[in-house]
Structure 1
Amino acid sequence: MGDAATTLNASAEKLDSLNKQLTAVVGGSGMPDLSQITSTDPDSIATLLSAPVSVNRIALYPVANYGSAMTPFYTVLSIWVGAIILVAMMKVSVSDREKAKVLGLGETLPMGETMGVKDAVIAGRTAGPGAMLDVLRKPRPESPGNARRFGLHPYQEYFGRYAIFGAMALLQGTLVCLGDMFFLGVQCEHPLQFLMVGWLCALVFSLLIYTLTVSFGDIGKAIAVVLLVMQVAGSGGTFPIETLPPFFQTICKWLLFPYGVDAMHSAMAGSFGNEYWVSMGKLALFILPALLLGLVLRKPVMRLNDWIIRNLESTKVM
């Protein structure tokens, strides 16, 4: 009760002091009369109240308009979509006919229905105890690695087929970037750097999506679409990454879009220090996991895909 009384007394003193100040204002003693303030120009008072502090902004890397500001996001997005369309329109595997031509074996691979133990071991298969040598089936037609016993290795098929996808992706990236600069007329301070970002995005995106498709088939295409949706929401292309939910703030550093968008922003408006090259380097690092999956981890996946396809074909439904 004693503490409460002390607090109430302190509050009463503050109210008394406030009462004296208000009385002095109304009476015009010692402080400006309210009538003097209200008689001032209303526009001046409104300006003061709406913007009590004036800020002089000096734009170091100004962007001309909203369209130019959104160009990096939609350009990177279109390059990714173009890479998905490529794997949807063209086969990622090399046909047995092309393999036979490359190896000089005629029009078709001499696969037959059976193979010996030596060929089976080379093809990654083993015979169980007591198995007959002439009943081991060969790899499925059109599957990666089924011509390995003839000298065509899976990594040669991988890079040889990707050369077509990489060339088409570069054409797509060049067309999109030139269209931005010369058809849409977006702001671009460094045109060559802008094109370099488009080329790097085209190569990295196409390599990753091609690898997912050649490794997992239709499942790989679905993964590419899921990554597209995640990157549209979590790339920071439309809103700053700091304003996104915590989940996207956590995964954004593992996505490709943020680095492509940052590098393209730097090429269009200017970069601070090595910002442009740092973003380009981080984007290029995604080549390493794509190659790791395509050259190393794909081997067990290929055998799993062959097993799945064989069982699907045996159902006579798919």
Structure 2
Amino acid sequence: LRAAVLQLDAGANEVNANMSSLVAGSSKVASGASQVNDGASSAVSGANQLDDGAAQLVDGVQAAKNGAGQLVSGTQSAKDGSAQIASGAVQLEEGSGTLASGLTDAVDGSGELSTALADGAKTAAEQTTNIDGKSEVMSDPVELANEYYTTVKNYGTGFAPYFMALGLWVGGLVAGFVFKPLNSRLIMSGANPVTVAFSNYLPVAFFSLIQATLLMVVLQFGLQLQIDNVPAFYAMGYLTALVFAAIMQMLMAAFGFPGKFVAIILLMLQLTACAGTFPIQTTPDFFQVINPYMPMTYVVQGMRQIMTGLDYGIVGFDCFVLFAIGAACFALTCLVAYRKRTVRMEDLHPVLQLG
């Protein structure tokens, strides 16, 4: 029994020991469970960290992609920049050559400037001498050499040829109003046309010569105008009166009463075209064109030469032209007288007779 008690006691001790071991193991199990719980929490935290790391990895990959693009762009910019650097280096080289040349020119220019300043100082010193003479030159820098074409005593002498031609034309026009251009009885009697024209020209010419004499006497003795050659002055005046008389007779014989209006129109044209007041070059082109064909042109020109005693060659030419105009007009008057020898119906029964 003792032995059994001892075994039971030993078994109880063993059970106690096992229970202690079981308690210790339960403690270890509880500690392990706690560690497992902690490990699970760490695993969950690690998973979260892994998820965050994956997102960061994606962002890093995108940033790496963008960086690669920027690297390519930067490489191209670096390539372009290297080309610009190369071009700039060439320009720098050329500029350095230009700068070297400019420096040489600057050195030469400084020498020229120095020489010019010295010359300027010398000139300034010279200009301070002879002040009175230089001031006189500056106040009157140009000395005019006057060479006169001709001289007249007064203003009226210059305009006298123009008004003489005007007066003689008006005198001839008045004579045309007073006297008939042709004698119808002589024409109808079969007289020579030259005789007919001349017989009616005489009273017109006589009237024109009288008024020309009065005009020239007043100019010579009344107004006492300058007349260099008196005989030539009177000869030119009488020639003008005779020529204007022939013109008036021709106009009125050819055109009748309208011929008087034609004479007035010619007078108005000649007043501008004969260059009596101003040089013909200052008039419109139309009057410059008709100037050589106007009788008063040669009267004004010839009278100016005679009154101032300039060029009698011009006077001779003017007299020739006036004589030719007068002869042509008288010949036309003779032709009109010849044609009037033929009686027409309108001559026997005129519709309207004026004058």
> What corresponds to 1:134 in structure 2?
none
Q: Distance in 1 between matches of 2:227 and 2:352?
A: 53
Q: How many residues align?
A: 243
The answer to whether the 8 A contact 1:263-1:279 is kept is yes
What residue in structure 1 maps to residue 164 of structure 2? 75
Q: How does 1:160-199 map to 2 (within 5 A)?
A: 160-199=199-238
Q: What displacement does 1:285 show? A: 1.1
Asked whether 1:256 is paired with 2:299, we answer no
- SS of structure 2 residue aligned to 1:92: coil
More helix by share: 2
Amino acid at match of 2:330: L
Assess if the C-alpha contact under 8 Å between 1:235 and 1:241 holds in 2: yes
Change (3 A) 1:246 1:304: farther
2:84 pairs with 1:45:
no
Corresponding position of 1:66: 155
RMSD: 3.6
Correspondence for 1:225 among 264, 279, 290: 264
2:330 is aligned, of 284, 291, 306, to: 291
- Give, in angstroms, the shift of residue 180 of structure 1: 0.6
Q: Could you tell me how far apart the structure 1 residues matched to 2:312 and 2:237 are? A: 21
Q: How does 1:134-173 map to 2 (within 5 A)?
A: 145=187, 147=188, 150-173=189-212
Change (3 A) 1:302 1:209: farther
For the residue of structure 1 that corresponds to 2:194, the secondary structure is helix
Distance 1:229 1:313, change over 3 A: closer
Note closer, same or farther for the CA distance 1:302–1:81 as it changes in structure 2 (3 Å cut): farther
| 2:276 is the alignment partner of 1:237 | yes
Partner of 1:54: 144
Aligned to 1:272: 311
Deviation at 1:159, TM superposition (A): 1.1
* 1:204 corresponds to: 243
TM-score by length of 2: 0.59
Q: CA deviation at 1:288?
A: 2.9
**Do structure 1's residue 84 and structure 2's residue 138 form an aligned pair?**
no
Equivalent-residue separation in structure 1 for 2:244 and 2:225 (angstroms): 23
Instruction: Give TM-score scaled by structure 1 length.
Output: 0.65
1:127 aligned residue = none
- 1:216–1:301 Cα contact (<8 Å) kept: no
* Structure 1 CA distance for aligned equivalents of residues 258 and 344 of structure 2: 10
Change (3 A) 1:300 1:152: closer
Whichever of the two has the greater Rg, that structure is 2
Per-residue deviation, residues 196-235 of structure 1 (Å, max 9, x unmatched): 0100000000111111101211121111111111110000
- State how far apart, in whole Å, the 2-side matches of 1:304 and 1:221 are: 24
Asked if the contact 2:182–2:337 (Cα under 8 Å) also holds between the matched residues in 1, the reply is no
1:242 alignment partner AA: Q
Q: SS of the residue aligned with 1:54?
A: coil
Structure 1 residues 169 and 273, CA gap change in structure 2 (3 angstroms): closer
In the other structure, the counterpart of 1:6 is none
Identity of aligned residues (%): 25
Q: CA deviation at 1:160?
A: 0.5
Q: Quick check: 2:232–2:306 contact (8 Å CA) kept in 1?
A: yes
Give 1:123's aligned residue: none
1:194–1:311 CA distance, 2 compared to 1 (3 A): same
The 3-state SS of whatever aligns with 1:29 is helix
Counterpart residue type for residue 164 of structure 1: P
| Residues 1:29 and 2:121 aligned together | yes
User: What does the per-residue CA deviation read over 1:35-80, in whole Å, with 9 as the maximum and x for residues that have no partner?
Assistant: 969x8687763432xxx242142x4642212111111110111000
After TM superposition, list the pairs within 5 Å mapping 1:292-307 onto structure 2. Answer: 292-296=331-335, 299-300=338-339, 307=346
Letter matched to residue 163 of structure 2:
Y
Number of the residue aligned with 1:125: none
Distance 1:303 1:259 in 2: 37
**CA deviation map 1:226-257 (0-9, x unaligned):** 11111100001111122222222221111111
Structure 2 spans left out of the alignment, 5+ residues:
1-108
Q: Cα deviation per residue 1:178-210 (whole Å; 9 max; x = unaligned)?
A: 111011100001111000010000000011111
Please say if residues 306 and 315 of structure 2, whose CA atoms lie closer than 8 Å, have aligned partners that are also in contact: yes
Alpha-carbon distance between aligned partners in 2 of 1:177 and 1:304, rounded to the nearest angstrom: 44
The Cα shift of 1:153 comes to: 3.8
Deviation at 1:297, TM superposition (A): 5.0
Give the ranges of 4+ consecutive aligned residues of structure 1 lying more than 6 Å apart after TM superposition.
39-43, 301-306
- C-alpha distance in structure 1 between counterparts of 2:304 and 2:162, whole Å: 9
Q: 1:29 Cα deviation (Å)?
A: 2.8
